[in-house]
Amino acid sequence: MKLIVGLGNPGAQYEWTRHNAGFMAVDVLAQRHAAGQIPKSRFHAVTLDTIIGTEKVILMKPTGYMNLSGQSVGEAIRFFKLDPQEDLIVLVDDIALPVGHIRVRKRGGSGGHNGLSDIDRILGGEDYPRVRIGVGNVPKFMGQADWVLSKFMKEERDDVQRSVLSAADASESILEVGITKAMNAFNTKLVKPKAKAKNDDTQSKQSATDSESKVEKSNKENSSTQE
């Protein structure tokens, strides 16, 4: 049996917030594999039992707030006698990734994420797979808490939809082919916007220089003709 946990905050006021990207991804899995089922209330969470490929899977959304996520995960792990390294996948938002990107990891630190920190505390370590869903870097004029609790902007929503679908795909891939092959398939190299902007700026300067040269040449030819 496998446990796939999407992290987020319960309540309508938190829908489409950056911190609820994990909820959004597990909702995609529920739509694909457990459509029409009535969720169970247990482990301080809502859960769905399903089968993905050949694996029995529990899809979970903790109903406590983000900083209590470990309680739900720990209860389920102990009840079903699961091994976090082999049987757990956590779907979580990540401010270190741009919107629209995901990363699959075998393990990792919490990065200041309260949900992951609580899971680490309850499980006694950070050795469990997770799929990180990019929600964008914190702007300089905002605090981290305000940023992750803010809603995605309208212009970001296509990228958000793409990333939560990819996170669901990656979770299915982990179950089917294992974490290493899933990492190879889904962890594409990020292109840094700054490098592109610098290149564009260089091209713009070159274009401006070429234009100035053409104008100067034209003026010289006109001056020569007038003489």
List of residues 6+ apart from 97 with CB closer than 8 A = 103, 132, 133, 134, 135, 136, 190
End-to-end CA distance of the chain: 91
Residues written for the chain:
227
Beta strands at 45-52 and 2-6: parallel, antiparallel or unpaired: unpaired
Rg of the chain over Cα atoms, rounded to whole angstroms, equals: 24
Neighbours of 106 (CB within 10 A): 14
> Which ranges of 110-192 would DSSP assign to H, the alpha helix?
114-123, 144-148, 157-177, 179-186
Contact at 8 Å (CB) between 190 and 98?
Answer: yes
Q: Which residues are catalytic?
A: 19
Neighbours of 51 (CB within 10 A): 10
